[in-house]
Structure 1
Amino acid sequence: MIQPPLRSLFIASIGNPGRYRNTRHSAGHILLDAITPLLQNRLPPGYKTWQSPSLMNDSGKKLVRELEAYKRFGSIRSVDADSNALTLVILHDELEKPLGKINVKRGGPEKLSLRGHNGLKDIFKWLEKKKMYPHDQTLSILRIGVGIGRPGSRNSDDVAKYVLTPMEPKELDAVNRAARFAVDVLAEEAERLETHVESA
């Protein structure tokens, strides 16, 4: 029996664990917490949420390993691999954007700059190492950044201190309010995948 093609979202957040879990640099985790309860009513079956347990700068290895396992075991696949469609969605903090503003980019560094984001750099390093991007034509990348603002100074020590400072309640509220827009983006991506599969 031929199984239906895979059309799926792998939604991963990156940040820092432990005592840095609620800092500005972990805004991706906070956004994932906010969107997760909303997804069931907005997305069709066939998505997975995953939160990186790694430090931000080492996000890639475990994320890519989890993505490989999901592609291999966690989803229904078609016999015709070319008709499958999977999007890796990366939720992350966005230093250059105003607090709570959602910034959506499709693709990797060959499309749009990673803006020095070490977590994203590590992910794409591992995707390339495993020949999953840009080599795998069934895999798309969607980056959803949530703005955390930036300090007045561009000194690297000041920036590091800023991103590793816990979010204040008003900042957490801004990220939580951004969740509905992020879910809209995910719903549009799920619809795009459905169209891709039907036209394959």
Structure 2
Amino acid sequence: MNLIDAWNRFRRFVSPLINEFLTFVTMRRLLTRVLNRVLLNESFSPVMVPEAEIHSHGRRKLVVGLGNPGMEGTRHSVGMAVLGALAARLDVADRWRGDKQVSGEVIVSEIQHTHVVLLRPRLLMNINGVSVAKAAGKYGIRPEDILLVHDELDKPLGKINIKHGGSARGHNGVRSCVDCLQTDVMQRLRVGIGRPTGKTSVERHVLGRFSSEERKVLDSVLVQSVDLLLSQLSQQESKQDSPSSPSSPAGGRGAAQKRTEPRASPAEDSSAAGS
């Protein structure tokens, strides 16, 4: 009976704490969604008139490096580092320009016959989706033609892979994009940063900078990530041109359930030297 009484007392003590924690998490997510809506001002519309510099013909795609402005060297902003490496590979790194309409920095370029917009949001990670939705609307880009690049805690540094839609899995930047675009069909390049060791908190880990040893691995990861992005964009263009390929599904969570993971490529889910 003493054991049962002790368990009941423990449960009475712990239950309120759990409820308070769940309430805090729920309220934080709710407030973030409200902030997304306030900043966005209007629902996402893929039929808005695109920017004049984007030609009226041909496929358009949006590649987004998620992160926190002013914290480009941190693990949480590794998506920005990948986008910077992509711009350098395309020889357009000097073409970044601020765009107040989309709350971010953009480069308009072309890969083969595909018009590509590179976007670095200038909003905090938790509301990056506002910038993504505004850019998608301005340039007339559909959600299924958006590729998000972001950090991934559940993968070690040196691992990358493409994920076709699905839940945010705890990533606040992706969650904001899903909320603002009102769909989860966006493709995602997940760049592993690994989980913290010892007593280091997750928040401190993701907001911290890469160590000198990690940077050696990161250099290889950036090369692999750009290779995979270019391969993915080329594959999508080939599928679009093929008369036998089905048209892209309409945006929405239902469409995301019909997708399957792509076959692994040499760069996909691969380990960088020293990892």
**Fold similarity call, TM over 0.5:** yes
Distance 2:202 2:143 in 1: 38
Q: CA RMSD in A?
A: 2.7
Given candidates 165, 169, 174, the residue that maps to 1:107 is 165
Q: Secondary structure at the match of 1:22?
A: coil
Change over 3 Å in CA distance of 1:117–1:170 after alignment to 2 = same
The match for 2:232 is 189
The match for 2:111 is 43
Alpha-carbon distance, 1:5 to partner: 4.2
Distance 1:191 1:23 in 2: 29
Gaps of 5+ in 2: 1-54, 93-109, 248-275
8 A Cα contact 1:9 1:48, kept in partner: yes
| Larger-Rg structure | 2
Q: Please say if 1:53 is aligned against 2:53.
A: no
Distance 2:159 2:62 in 1: 22
Gaps of 5+ in 1: 73-83, 135-139
The match for 2:69 is 17
Q: Secondary structure at the match of 1:54?
A: coil
Q: Please say if 1:94 is aligned against 2:139.
A: no
The match for 1:158 is 201
Q: Secondary structure at the match of 2:151?
A: strand
Deviations 1:80-131 (A, max 9, x none): xxxx99621111011111113112101232xxxx221111001000001xxx
8 A Cα contact 1:146 1:175, kept in partner: no
Distance 2:210 2:64 in 1: 21
Task: Return the structure number with greater relative CO, CA threshold 8 A, min gap 6.
Answer: 1
Given candidates 149, 172, 185, the residue that maps to 1:118 is 172
The match for 1:175 is 218
% identity of equivalent residues: 31
The match for 1:81 is none
The match for 2:133 is 64
Distance 1:62 1:52 in 2: 6
TM-score (norm 1): 0.74
